[in-house]
Amino acid sequence: MKIIHISAECYPIAKVGGLADVVGALPKYQSSKKITSEVLIPFYDTAFTQTHTFTTIYKSKLNLGDAVFPYEIKTLDNNTLGFEVFFVDIPQQLFRNYVYSSDDADRFISFQIASLDWLLTWKDKPTIVHCHDHHTGLIPFMMSQSLKYKKLSRISSVLTIHNAQYQGWFSYDKLAYIPEFDMENAGLLDWNHQINSLATGIKCAWRVTTVSPSYMEELKVKANGLESLLRHEHKKCSGILNGIDTDVWNPETDDYIVKNYGPTIVQSGKKANKKYLCDRFNLDIKKPLIVFIGRLVGEKGAELLPVVFDLILQEKHSSILLLGSGNKEIEKELEKLKEKHKGTYNAFIGYDEKLSHIMYAGADFLLMPSRVEPCGLNQMYALRYGTIPVVRNIGGLKDTIIDIDNKGFGIIHQEVSVYAIVYAIKRAESLYKHIQKFKNIRNRIMGINHSWDTSAQAYINLYKTLNTKVS
Ligand code: ADP
Ligand code: GLC
């Protein structure tokens, strides 16, 4: 069995969020199960591409309407990632020092066309083309409908929805970009009078998965306009919970953190990392340290954080540290709080992989008051590093965290409101005072196994069912 994952992100090459973590780990775990699992991503101008060397294995040109773009397929030299990775290098469109921007429709349609043009040249074709999110949602359509890709039409396609909020909409003036197909089937591209890449992928992929079982159910009632489509296609849809890469996210070996620790030396290991954070960010080490790591957007409940933090910090029971970037207004509000709560609050506005690891290691609690959370990886990283998650009961958070009042190991709130989040944090503060109970939970969560091993197998089992298309 030969799988090719096609994605906009892949850790450690290009990462904006959890999509990268998944595409950087799942193929490795699949490869360890004796199947060939490879990745195809755009060639961006990232720290990774600047510091590695590549070999061009194929050169051609692609057509995007009337425009013609030269492109190359590259491989990574001295690859130690644990899976083969191929790059689509379209210098005029993809080679930028960011992943996403306002001209994504042109960029990712080009990427998808170049990917399929190249797959056509493979002698030994893949068994499964596994697409991730809307950036690759047109691939199942083009494979089944475009005359040019007829030779790929019998290859099974799987689409994984990591986040249905973003759908890759574009207007019909770009219809001519898509390689020729029977116009009678143009309806497959349409959702609400626009071309909608994610909807197209859901309609045309042989199977559709979401990154947690609960998210699959939630999408049937709330999917940013795609609810009825997901209900209609339910027979081919299922939820498979993400895992984590336990080689990368391992407090015993993690090179990023200040002191390594395992289940037997939790206390001193976490303390050293907490001390580093408290020294660097001028925080009170005696108080419980509550952290937030993530994109500052509505989905993550981020606009409520400034008010929540202000209320919590006024009572002086906790220290709070935030790492994130996104909405400029929210960033400004979070910056403003620094002066008012000097000594118990700080924020690093930006993206910093190393700091995120130290925060998972050094924190006592991790906050995730998400409105939408298809899976969420942060809470699983927190568990592995002995940091107790305080989360909203939604999506993948619902599937991974059990409340302490239910014999569990986390703190759960139902609503996304200032009141509900503040109350949840107060429960965390109170747990911190019951030091033995707090330590027992911390030790217990480090042993919870969320390795990709199980879910990588679940995907393989799904691929094996794909001899026939579900209609
Ligand atoms: P999402 O993909 O919706 O952003 P996930 O929980 O699946 O959420 O994954 C987020 C990933 O991005 C995690 O690896 C998290 O540590 C990382 N991350 C998010 N924001 C930052 C940041 N500002 N700096 C470093 N890492 C970040
Ligand atoms: C998306 C989701 C997140 C999920 C990640 C990886 O970005 O927002 O919940 O963990 O994809 O699947």
Q: Are residues 71 and 18 in the same domain?
A: yes
Which residue's CA is the nearest one to ligand 2's atom 10? Answer: 376
Residue 23 Cβ contacting ligand 1 at under 6 Å: no
pLDDT at 469: 54
Residue 211 CA: nearest ligand 2 atom is 12
Residue among 11, 160, 334, 356 to mutate when testing ligand 1 (max atoms within 8 A of CB): 356
Residue 165 Cβ contacting ligand 1 at under 6 Å: no
Q: Is 316 left (phi over 0), alpha (psi -120 to 50) or beta?
A: left
Question: CA-CA distance, 206 to 468, in Å (whole number)?
Answer: 8
SS3 170: strand
Q: Are residues 174 and 285 in the same domain?
A: no
Considering the domain boundaries, does residue 251 fall inside one?
Answer: no
Which residue's CA is the nearest one to ligand 1's atom 17? Answer: 17
pLDDT at 324 over 70: yes
Residues 6+ positions from 158 with CB-CB distance below 8 Å: 128, 129, 130, 131, 205, 206, 207, 208, 209, 459, 462, 463, 466
Residue among 99, 133, 211 to mutate when testing ligand 2 (max atoms within 8 A of CB): 211
Residue 323 CA: nearest ligand 1 atom is 23
Question: CA-CA distance, 78 to 160, in Å (whole number)?
Answer: 29
pLDDT at 254: 98
Residue 293 Cβ contacting ligand 1 at under 6 Å: yes
Q: Are residues 360 and 434 in the same domain?
A: yes
- pLDDT tens per residue across span 48-66: 999 999 999 999 999 999 9
pLDDT at 468 over 80: no
Residue 324 Cβ contacting ligand 1 at under 6 Å: yes
Q: Are residues 181 and 296 in the same domain?
A: no
pLDDT at 83 over 60: yes
pLDDT at 8 over 90: yes
Residue 408 in tokens: 């569990």
Residue 377 Cβ contacting ligand 1 at under 6 Å: yes
Partners of 85 in beta bridges: 39
Nearest ligand, CA 211 = 2
Question: CA-CA distance, 416 to 369, in Å (whole number)?
Answer: 6
Nearest ligand, CA 26 = 2
pLDDT at 471: 46
Q: How many domains does the chain have?
A: 2
| Average pLDDT rounded to a whole number, residues 297-321 | 98
Q: Are residues 297 and 368 in the same domain?
A: yes
| Average pLDDT rounded to a whole number, residues 223-245 | 98
Considering the domain boundaries, does residue 149 fall inside one?
Answer: yes
The string of DSSP letters for 347-386 reads EEES--HHHHHHHHHH-SEEEE--S--SS-SHHHHHHHTT
Q: Are residues 149 and 268 in the same domain?
A: no
| Ligand 2 centroid – CA 227 distance (Å) | 19
pLDDT at 34: 87
The residues lining ligand 2, judged by C-beta closer than 6 Å to any ligand atom, are 17-19, 22, 162-163, 211, 242, 373-377, 396
Residue 15 in tokens: 């990462």
Amino acid making up residue 152: L
Domain membership of residue 275 as a residue range: 263-448
Which residue's CA is the nearest one to ligand 2's atom 1? Answer: 162
Contact 411, 445 (CB under 8 A): no
Residue among 15, 21, 331, 385 to mutate when testing ligand 1 (max atoms within 8 A of CB): 21
pLDDT at 224: 97
pLDDT at 467 over 90: no
Question: Which domain CATH number covers 197?
Answer: 3.40.50.2000
Which residue's CA is the nearest one to ligand 1's atom 7? Answer: 18
Considering the domain boundaries, does residue 7 fall inside one?
Answer: yes
Q: Are residues 335 and 377 in the same domain?
A: yes
Which residue's CA is the nearest one to ligand 1's atom 26? Answer: 353
- pLDDT tens per residue across span 86-117: 999 999 999 999 999 999 999 999 999 999 99
Residue 17 Cβ contacting ligand 1 at under 6 Å: yes
Considering the domain boundaries, does residue 469 fall inside one?
Answer: no
Residue 160 CA: nearest ligand 2 atom is 12
| Ligand 2 centroid – CA 408 distance (Å) | 23
pLDDT at 303 over 80: yes
Q: Are residues 165 and 303 in the same domain?
A: no
Q: Are residues 444 and 457 in the same domain?
A: no
Residue among 7, 18, 41 nearest 379 (CA): 18
Q: Are residues 459 and 434 in the same domain?
A: no
Considering the domain boundaries, does residue 248 fall inside one?
Answer: no
Residue 239 Cβ contacting ligand 1 at under 6 Å: no
Considering only the C-alpha atoms of the chain, give the largest distance between any 2 of them, rounded to a whole number of Å.
69
| Average pLDDT rounded to a whole number, residues 1-8 | 97
Residue among 396, 276, 442, 416 nearest 21 (CA): 396
Q: Are residues 233 and 270 in the same domain?
A: no
Residue among 99, 135, 242 to mutate when testing ligand 2 (max atoms within 8 A of CB): 242
| Ligand 1 centroid – CA 323 distance (Å) | 10
| Ligand 1 centroid – CA 325 distance (Å) | 10
Residue 255 in tokens: 């090179």
Mean pLDDT over the full length of the chain: 97
